[in-house]
């Protein structure tokens, strides 16, 4: 089976080389200019890259636009208001890039215009530059270069659905086309009904607890939240979390920690105020300036529980360090681990391999809970 996924990745990669040549896409942009679908933050970021590279930007397309409303100094039209004759001469760059918004209808409309071509989000790091490679997005060639890693992970997965999701993610990371995206289950994040925990009352360590959605997720899955150990470093997010706890309840006891998690206790600079996208800052962020300093802790140092049934990890790229800070806790309790594996391109395989090295014989599954390649979660029974 593992050789099959390597072969499939190779075939899709070859298709990309033959049919989605980067130089040809750039030449078409140079000749025709473009519209950008998506007038939010990512769309404006794409607009900067387009104009800096000398391509003509005809304007934005978005459902928020009306009658040529200006966005970043450019006209923004609803799809039905766009001059289709002009659109057919231009390239459309898709800049819808979040976990909440499916793009099938947008792409269906764009293909019906039809535009001269469509550039998909997965293609942007190659076509417009690596600065547009956010979270899982990177050069399409990197997927083919890591076909062996995909194959190794494929062999670790214990169910057919997980293997199908992994194969679809490999295709999607190369093409960016919605028809290649794995099926999305938005309703059962952290508690897929086909991966039951098997206990009515559970104790949960929740790393990256904003916006407090663990409460609703536990209830929807038919469990009672006995003990909730919730970590959230962003100051505004933590205040929101406290408000949710005060308003909703839904647990026997809750311990809220206004800090992040890692492999040590200390301070890190944190890009705050971005809601669920707030994250620890790296050396490449704002030259090391900006943001706020927040505390981080080793989970094993601060959580002293009689039992733990589940550990959730969604900490914006700090998952590996967080694991290092809770190895003894995981060894002692052997909980279900639900971990985000999409924040960085290699998280998809490096994080499962890390767990496998620490806990040989663990059982693995993958479920896709967000659109556009986001909210890919690894479920591990240690």
275 or 328: which leads in pLDDT: 328
At 329 the pLDDT is 97
Tell whether 222 and 318 lie within a shared domain.
yes
Is 146 inside a domain boundary? Answer: no
Is 56 inside a domain boundary? Answer: yes
Looking at 134, 159, 193, the residue that finishes a domain is 134
Is 214 inside a domain boundary? Answer: yes
Looking at 69, 99, 134, the residue that finishes a domain is 134
Is 246 inside a domain boundary? Answer: yes
- Over range 254-271, report the average pLDDT: 90
Confidence band for 5, pLDDT divided at 50, 70 and 90: confident
At 34 the pLDDT is 98
pTM: 0.92
Is 162 inside a domain boundary? Answer: no
Is 67 inside a domain boundary? Answer: yes
Is 165 inside a domain boundary? Answer: no
Confidence band for 18, pLDDT divided at 50, 70 and 90: confident
How many domains is the chain built from? Answer: 2
Classify each residue of 78-105 as buried b or exposed e, where b means 16 or more C-beta atoms within 10 Å of its C-beta: ebeebeeeebeebbbbbbbbebeeebee
Is 321 inside a domain boundary? Answer: yes
**Residue 276 belongs to domain spanning:** 185-381
| Listed range (243-257, 270-284, 296-310) with the worst mean pLDDT | 270-284
For 296-342, how does the pLDDT look when each residue is reduced to its tens digit (9 = 90+)? 999 999 999 999 999 999 998 999 999 999 999 999 999 999 999 99
CATH number of the domain to which 61 belongs: 3.40.50.720
Tell whether 205 and 341 lie within a shared domain.
yes
At 37 the pLDDT is 97
CATH number of the domain to which 215 belongs: 3.40.50.150
Tell whether 115 and 200 lie within a shared domain.
no
């Amino acid at each position: 089976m593992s050789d099959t996924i390597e072969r499939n990745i190779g075939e899709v990669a070859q298709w990309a080389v033959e049919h989605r040549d980067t130089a040809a896409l750039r030449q078409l942009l140079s000749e025709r200019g473009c519209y950008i679908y998506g007038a939010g933050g990512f769309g404006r970021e794409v607009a900067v890259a387009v104009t800096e590279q000398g391509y003509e930007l005809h304007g934005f397309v978005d459902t928020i636009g009306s009658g040529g409303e200006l966005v970043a100094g450019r006209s923004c039209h609803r799809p039905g208001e766009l001059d289709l004759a002009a659109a057919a001469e231009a390239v459309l760059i898709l800049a819808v890039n979040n976990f909440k918004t499916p793009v099938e209808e947008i792409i269906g409309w764009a293909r019906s215009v039809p535009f001269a071509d469509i550039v998909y989000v997965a293609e942007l790091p190659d076509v417009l530059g690596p600065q547009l490679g956010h979270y899982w997005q990177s050069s399409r060639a990197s997927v083919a270069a890591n076909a062996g890693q995909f194959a190794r992970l494929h062999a670790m997965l214990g169910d057919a659905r997980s293997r199908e999701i992994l194969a679809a993610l490999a295709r999607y990371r190369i093409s960016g086309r919605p028809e290649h995206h794995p099926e999305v289950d938005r309703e059962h994040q952290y508690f897929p009904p086909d991966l039951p925990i098997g206990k009515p009352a559970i104790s949960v360590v929740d790393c990256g607890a904003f916006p407090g959605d663990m409460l609703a997720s536990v209830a929807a899955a038919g469990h009672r939240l006995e003990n909730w150990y919730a970590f959230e470093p962003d100051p505004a997010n933590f205040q929101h979390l406290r408000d949710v706890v005060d308003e909703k309840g839904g647990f026997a006891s809750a311990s809220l920690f206004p800090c992040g998690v890692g492999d040590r206790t200390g301070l890190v600079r944190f890009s705050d105020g971005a809601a669920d996208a707030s994250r620890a800052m790296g050396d490449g962020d704002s030259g090391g300036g900006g943001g706020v300093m927040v505390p981080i802790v080793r989970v094993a140092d601060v959580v002293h529980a009689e039992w733990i049934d589940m550990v959730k990890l969604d900490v914006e790229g700090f998952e590996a360090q967080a694991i290092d800070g809770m190895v003894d806790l995981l060894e002692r309790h052997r909980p279900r681990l639900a971990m985000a594996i999409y924040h960085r391109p290699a998280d998809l395989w490096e994080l499962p391999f890390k767990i496998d090295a620490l806990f040989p014989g663990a059982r693995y599954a993958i479920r896709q809970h967000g659109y556009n390649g986001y909210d890919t979660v690894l479920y591990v029974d240690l």
